[in-house]
Structure 1
Amino acid sequence: MRFMIDRRIITHFDFILIALLIPIITLSFYLISEIDPVLSQKQLIYIGVGIAAFIVFFLMPLREFKWLIPTIYWINIGLLISVDFFGVSRLGAQRWLEIPFIHFTLQPSEIFKPAFILMLAYLIHENPPPKNGYSLKEFLKISFYIILPFVLIAKEPDLGTALILLIIGYGILFFVGVNWKIWAGIAIIMALFLPLSYKYLLHDYQKKRIHDFLSEKPSYHVQQSIIAIGSGGLTGKEKDEATQTQLKFLPIASSDFIFAYFMERFGFFGAFFLISLYAMLILHLLSLNYKLSGDYFTQVVTTSIAFLLFVYMSVNIAMTIGFAPVVGVPLPLFSYGGSSFVNFMILFGILEHLLAFRFNFLYNSTRT
């Protein structure tokens, strides 16, 4: 198989991306092992599955099968719709589908993210923006593919995931270019719509999270998180001295509030190092756009992953320090769990494929 030995694969493969991912994943596994050895064994399985998914999607000839992307998108939309009829409820939310006989549950809103990003890339690749940006007609066409999953996921309810997709979708449109008059109109509509959405669309528990965030005294979870962060000081504590986590005061220390435990263990300097890793990863992804000029498909995928990392990271860290309402948004590639981690590894595998196999289209004029 020629593609396995072609030197141009090595030339275009992004080794910097891998070098930035390894320390984040390694630190995550180390922390989870400290919190709960049983969870660390499960996390090791998730890491193995994520690496396997990365390899599969790296070797998948995506460009040759771009025409399948709309079908994959609509299959995922079908799964989101089926949640309303056949979904399994947990903690008041109906977000999961149970696969018969094996009792395995699937969360369609999670597996939808790669399909969503690929659909955006496909739409923009097929209809690139003109010099002055998209007109209202093209904007509304792409908006349909953004708003439809937002409504379906928000209805589950899973407002956090729905808002992330909305931010990614319109962030990409802002990146590729839309006429400024459209953005002005959206700003006016949002200013009028937000008060009504709070009163009529939000569930009681969502309103409570906002009230807890705006109140003078933070919720119990956030209070314990802030204590853990403050107790870490500049350099952190030894494992046995990290009492907030070891004595179970800090809730969900291995997933939603893992950043608080990280600061309790490694302090301000450790947090600065971790955030710097994320910042370098995001900036590196955005910098790739300079060498991808004209390749809208890869540019959209690259920028979407950067936006996704930034939104997940900033929301998770902000909620642990009381600067944002508590929502179920994990710290990307760091919090315990399989679905988010595997999703990111799939996206990185797709990106590495698009970068490493670019030569098929750069050097071979017989391909399109």
Structure 2
Amino acid sequence: MSYLEYNVKRSPSGLRKVLYVNWPLVLLLTAVASVGFLQLYSVSGGDFDRWAEPQMQRYALSLAVMLAIGFVPLWFWRSMSVLAYAVSFLLLVGVEFFGSVGMGAQRWLELGPIRLQPSEMMKIAIVMMMATYYDWLDIKRVSHPFWVLLAVVLIAAPAFLVLVQPDLGTALMILGAGGMVMFFAGVSLWYFGAVIGAGVGLVTLVFASRGTEWQLLRDYQFRRIDAFLDPTLDPLGSSYHINQAMIALGSGGWSGRGFMQGTQSRLNFLPEKHTDFIFNTLAEEFGFIGSVFLLTLYIGIIVTCVIAAMQAKNRFASLLILGIAGNFFLYFAINMAMVMGLAPVVGVPLPLVSYGGSAMLMILIGFGLVQSACIHRPREKS
């Protein structure tokens, strides 16, 4: 069924839209966010006003935005995909010339009172664009070299702009989200094999460039890689963060030290305890059981999205839902791998749990598109 069949006449109205909301998804998202509120209250030492209250307000606003997006017919968002991608791309270009610098990176645009991070917008825009692209493209041409190359350019161009900011974590997420949509669209696995081979070659080239005039990464990024490969190399310097994170992770044991009893976070040994490393505070306080509980909620969100994609009646809706779910998976998979020492530290927050508004808003905007697909899915007339 083509996306054109999602028209105004077939869209539900009034109370039916509320009834068709994917409420299990809303409940799972709220459960994850509630874990975040609890941990932010804990790491602030019981100060509700410092991090927990602002985070709750941001979640309430973002949830309202998600539902508002969900009530808009899916055909509208399909028609806006190219515009969303183009605007996000132009804003990324604008960052290169007019972006403000913070913490050694040029990632933000100051638009009056608004501080915008276009790379966060691109995480959603790339999924919308690729879903539209493969909905438009004849399925027989999906694996044709020309159309695969065009898709790769659409993904690689914004990823490169984000990489040079520099923001390796977000660049990887853009590549990963776009690549997932290509995979779900049915692109031949031979291309993915070629990409893996090229990736191995690129990693080799990156290490070969170190210390040369054409060095491909910044010095601090190489130090992060060194800390990942050998955490004992510089325990008081580049390896300090990951070492403290591992201590917190291991000290929780099976059931944890107890709520607000984590020594690593309470004594400020754990860096960025309310943002990037908040999973370690959870593991220290609630142990293996608490960590698995959070992971189960995350998996529940992914499964709910997969079921919704299977129920969708057209290619665009299915690819969009799977792309949003894949993007969400990358968030928590990269963060958890990072704080457990399984991947270099790249600054990806734990979705809906880490303190911050922009990432939370964009995540729920993505799930708003999922809700739009669920609410406006063609149903048999009763």
Superposition TM-score, scaled by structure 1 size = 0.90
Output one character per residue of 1:109-162: Cα deviation in whole Å (capped at 9) or x when no partner.
Answer: 1122222211111111111422x8421111112112101101111111111101
Partner in structure 2 of residue 20 of structure 1: 28
- 2:132 pairs with 122, 127, 149, which one? 122
Partner in structure 1 of residue 370 of structure 2: 351
In the alignment, is the contact (CA less than 8 A) between 2:130 and 2:182 conserved in 1? no
- How far apart in 2 are the matches of 1:287 and 1:179? 24
Partner in structure 2 of residue 332 of structure 1: 351
- How far apart in 1 are the matches of 2:230 and 2:35? 34
Output one character per residue of 1:31-59: Cα deviation in whole Å (capped at 9) or x when no partner.
Answer: 11222231122212211221121122112
- 2:171 pairs with 162, 165, 176, which one? 162
- How far apart in 2 are the matches of 1:72 and 1:308? 17
Deviation, 1:67, is 2.7
- Percent identity over the alignment? 33
Partner in structure 2 of residue 71 of structure 1: 83
Partner in structure 1 of residue 64 of structure 2: 52
- 1:33 pairs with 29, 38, 41, which one? 41
**Is 2:330 aligned against 1:311?**
yes
In the alignment, is the contact (CA less than 8 A) between 2:131 and 2:181 conserved in 1? no
Paired residue secondary structure (1:95) = strand
Paired residue secondary structure (1:234) = coil
Deviation, 1:12, is 4.1
Partner in structure 2 of residue 109 of structure 1: 119
Amino acid at match of 1:208: R
Cα 1:341/1:128, change in 2 over 3 Å: farther
- How far apart in 1 are the matches of 2:189 and 2:125? 28
**Is 2:168 aligned against 1:153?**
no
- How far apart in 1 are the matches of 2:60 and 2:202? 45
Alignment of 1:135-284 (within 5 A): 135-198=144-207, 199=209, 200-217=215-232, 219-284=239-304
- How far apart in 2 are the matches of 1:247 and 1:150? 38
Which structure 2 residue ranges, 5 or more long, are not aligned?
A: 1-7, 210-214
What is the number of equivalent residue pairs in this alignment?
Answer: 357
Where do 4+ consecutive residues of structure 1 move more than 4 Å?
A: none
Paired residue secondary structure (1:241) = coil
In the alignment, is the contact (CA less than 8 A) between 2:332 and 2:350 conserved in 1? yes
Output one character per residue of 1:210-259: Cα deviation in whole Å (capped at 9) or x when no partner.
Answer: 11100152611111112212222211223453221111111111111111
Cα 1:289/1:48, change in 2 over 3 Å: closer
> Aligned-residue CA RMSD in angstroms?
2.2
Superposition TM-score, scaled by structure 2 size = 0.87
Which stretch of the first structure deviates more once superposed, 56-65 or 80-89?
56-65
Deviation, 1:262, is 0.5
Amino acid at match of 2:163: A
Paired residue secondary structure (2:24) = helix
